[in-house]
With several copies, the nearest count.
Chain A
Amino acid sequence: MPFIPHTAAETAAMLEATGARSLDDLFDEIPARLRSGPLTHVPEALTEHEIGRLMRERAAADGEFLTFVGAGAYEHHIPAAVWEIAGRGEFYTAYTPYQAEASQGTLQLLYEFQTMIASLVGLDVANASLYDGASALAEAVLMAVRLHGRSRRVLIPETVHPLYRQVVQTIVSAQAITLDLVPMDGAGTTDVGGLASRLAGAAGLVIPQPNFLGCLEDVHAMVAAARAAGVLAIGLVNPIACALIVPPGEWGPGCDIAVGEGQPLGAPLSSGGPYFGFMACRREHVRQMPGRIVGRTVDAAGHEAYTLTLQAREQHIRRSRATSNICTNQGLLVTAATVHMALLGPEGLRRVAAAAHANTAMLRARLEAIPGVRAAFPDTPFFHEVVLRLPVPVPEVLRALEAQGILGGCALGEFYPAFADSLLVCATETKTETDIAHYAHHLERIVTRRRLDPPCAYKDDNPRSP
């Protein structure tokens, strides 16, 4: 029996001990008419060999592509050691460290993680993770409303990832919180000029850096304006960017809360998850922070030891008055991220950021050289992701590139009608100059020859495997 060790003799002996006559007897408190018949949509059991083969076939069918898509999930090098460590049974099959003495490994690691995140974003304290970047932003919005105490209106720029905005809407809408959309200016950034009037009476302001379009916002001015208006500033950041660009704790007078998507720190793309959200804040806000938090303390012998702390914030103690309903978070991803950050160190993370940015700059330059292709925001500083306007329909371009083994970017039209002709492209440090030239070569062919042949004819005789 899969994963059930009992032999017939053991089953019989154990049943006898319980006084039940059969296994079904153990369910005799359930009204008989409710008992299920056989399942009809679960296939018969496979052996591990059979399911292994099926999964290898399906994974192979999904193939491997040269990916220039970012838009919230980024392909970075993940050292082999990261998942070799995170996959160790002692991390992989433990649970939330409720019994501190039997969980010092996970607890110390989480304390190290909190320290790393706090330093990365330049704030005082961090929690032990939330689900993902978007849900972390929702929690930050709720936290800002709690901290503010009087207003239930939060400003969210149009330049925030559209899917994040959807998630925040889903999560905060039931609590009568209003999300006030701050429009984008022509430079792909938030209109700071118009901000002051909106800030009045708001609880929080979300500030993305870089924003969804890769553009760098005037974060110093935005935080200063928020502070002046008594509004909590919530920095939404890419953790890799934080190694190179000024972190939320140092934007103007400093953000109150910083959140972001942890995926670039060691999580595989994996069709969207599992990733993890991170959150940090000023020390004085810690009791309104949601999620697990680990503290350093001592044991009965006076030696350093670690434990979950501030549990009075949490649902299992405070129930309907908790800071959040979150219980299980993304521990394993945090384990991977901690190992990942330790392996890369400050210099490694800086180099990754600089290389990713340089590669995207190169990609932009190569693609702009193609007739009709131009940067949407040519004068706006950006980080590792840019918007390009194309002279041919975006979906057609993407399909033609896909046939060459290239995922060419994120079509912006779905999210911003005014950018139906635009592609958001990203080249991380994983791309070589050859890869970028390869993309440029194919895009040029597609753009210049499109009137001659249907897209399928663009297929190269000898596609380069990524």
Chain B
Amino acid sequence: DPRVLIFERGAPGRVNAPQMPRPLAPPADIPSTLLRRAPLALPQVSELQVVRHYTRLSQRNFAIDTHFYPLGSCTMKYNPRAAHVAAQLPGFANRHPLAPESTGQGVLACLFELQEMLKDVTGMRAVSLTPMAGAQGEFAGVAMIRAYHAARNDLARDEILIPKAAHGTNPATAAMCGYRVREIDVRADGDIDLVALNAAIGPRTAGLMLTNPSTLGVFDRHIEDIAQRVHAAGGLLYYDGANLNAILGQVKPGDMGFDVVHLNLHKTFATPHGGGGPGAGPVGVGERLLPFLPVPMVGESGGRYYWITEKTRPQSIGRLSTFAGNVGVLLRAYVYARLVGREGMARIAHYAALNANYLLERLSRLGFEPAYPGRRAAHEFLLTLKGLKERTGVTALDVAKRLLDKGYHAPTIYFPLMVPECLLIEPTETESRDEIDGFVAAMAEILAEAETTPELLKAAPHTLPVRRVDEVRAARALDLVWKAHPASA
């Protein structure tokens, strides 16, 4: 039974001899007060037990490789295996981060070329690959905005404007950078409320953080106007690249007027989500923010590649990771970008949009209610089940859990917070029409079940390894680490 914890397996003294050096006495040169005496409660299991335990645990996951996974705003598209294999090549995997540049021309060439490609697709002047996730990319971006104003001695700007629909990372990032957050309303059509924006904008405005297309699944049609207003007020525009997949090769953030952008390579560039990372959140900037980019970056001169560090970038916001960020992830993104190629970039957005609009249309015809009717879906779209809930008591959570029973990962639910009972659905371009049609059929069944047997949905899921999980109890009766029962301690 895979539910038995790894700590409950095994036996005291069981070891895997091939995996460890031969035993040695405790070192005599370390003072005894500094030697560990406390027991170390790691499992004592055989290699076979470990392989069997985690293989079977893995089977208790949904994943892109096993299920359609239309988790809105996460771009769960196919992660090419070729990228994984390439990043694990010994020459890459075994290279020490402090090894000299002379021993890293291969990996540096890949990183440099990735920088160049990302500059192109974002319309930015320079890119630093070092942020280790989208949120760290956001941090870098806002920290650069802060550094820019500080460098100009423009010190009164202490506010960042953020639309209400934004990812939670946006306000959290602004706060980490010492900014006050002003949230801006969104209109009923999904675009930013320009009146509210006008009211908020002013001499305290350091910048505006925007995702476009937004987390509502629509492209803000007034982006040029917005950019003009923010710039006129002396602020800068930050582009959250969470939804870049929607516009890749179609429109560049730089052309929309953004001064700084981060990308989520684990979304748009198909690096794996890994059960929650590692991601990679490169940042790109326009002219004004060039001096402030985080280090290290990769430079090229006469066919040789080298690290650009704080030594030549005195105004850099600094380092964000000990070494150079998630290089292994960057290599995967590089492989993906080369496989997709020039023409392929624009195709990604084309087909991400096609799948999203097709799915939106089919679900609408079933009777599901779009949160922003009449708008084109970007690469994702938002449904609201407010009406369904009023009619049947069935919530977005119930629909999500029932989808699991039918072999589909649930969409993102209850986000953005401002839309009641919402489902944010992102099919991605790598799903085929057959798979999307299967999802539509499942949603149709659920809609029928909601009307006829809502209790079936309230109790879902029924066919997964566990029934519905009690999250309230988890937070109240905290059980975060396993403790041996007294008898087995």
Contacts and interface: CB of A to CB of B under 8 A. Distances in A.
| Touch between chains A and B, by CB atoms below 8 Å | yes
B137 to A, nearest CB: 10
A429 B65 CA distance: 29
B423 interface: no
B205 to A, nearest CB: 16
B323 A163 contact: yes
Contacts of A3: 18, 46-48, 77-78, 80, 270, 339-340, 344, 429-430
Contact of A91 (B24, B61, B328, B353): B61
Contacts of A104: 57, 60-61, 464-466
A29 B20 contact: no
A163 B64 contact: no
A162 to B, nearest CB: 10
A6 B404 contact: no
Contact of B168 (A20, A61, A271, A314): A314
B357 A18 contact: yes
Interface in B350-389: 350-351, 353-355, 357-358, 360-362, 375-376
Given A272-B327, A328-B266, A77 B105 contact: no
A300 B94 contact: no
Interface string A76-101: 01011101110111111111111111
A452 B440 CA distance: 75
Given A51-B86, A64-B91, A297-B479, A112 B5 contact: yes
A135 B172 CA distance: 16
Interface stretch (A241-249, A442-450, A455-463): A241-249
- B110, B326, B477 pick with most chain A CB within 10 angstroms: B326
B314 interface: no
B328 A268 contact: yes
A346 B40 contact: yes
A369 to B, nearest CB: 17
Contacts of A122: 38
Nearest to B12: A7
B324 A271 contact: yes
Interface in B35-52: 35-51
Nearest to B479: A296
Contacts of B350: 23-24, 26
Interface in A332-373: 332-335, 338-339, 341-352, 354-355, 357-358, 361
A397 B29 CA distance: 29
B302 interface: no
A64 B94 contact: yes
Interface stretch (A9-17, A199-207, A226-234): A9-17
Contacts of A39: 120-121, 249, 342, 345-346
A118 B40 CA distance: 10
B339 to A, nearest CB: 5
A437 interface: no
Contacts of A261: 322
Contact of A101 (B275, B335, B341, B466): B466
Interface string B10-21: 111111111111
B107 interface: yes
A15 to B, nearest CB: 7
Contact of B251 (A30, A83, A170): A30
- B69, B120, B274 pick with most chain A CB within 10 angstroms: B274
Contacts of B20: 47, 344, 347-348, 351-352
A382 B29 CA distance: 8
A422 interface: no
B82 A48 contact: yes
Contact of A29 (B69, B121, B375): B375
A243 B123 CA distance: 45
Nearest to B92: A59
A247 B2 CA distance: 31
B467 interface: yes
A161 interface: yes
A402 interface: yes
A161 B97 CA distance: 14
A33 B404 CA distance: 43
Given A36-B255, A381-B30, A398-B100, A307 B471 contact: yes
B354 A23 contact: yes
Given A55-B110, A62-B106, A170-B320, 8 more contacts: A51-B82, A108-B5, A174-B176, A297-B477, A300-B467, A322-B168, A381-B34, A383-B30
11 contacts: A1-B347, A9-B12, A27-B250, A36-B346, A43-B341, A51-B335, A72-B97, A79-B81, A111-B482, A242-B36, A299-B466
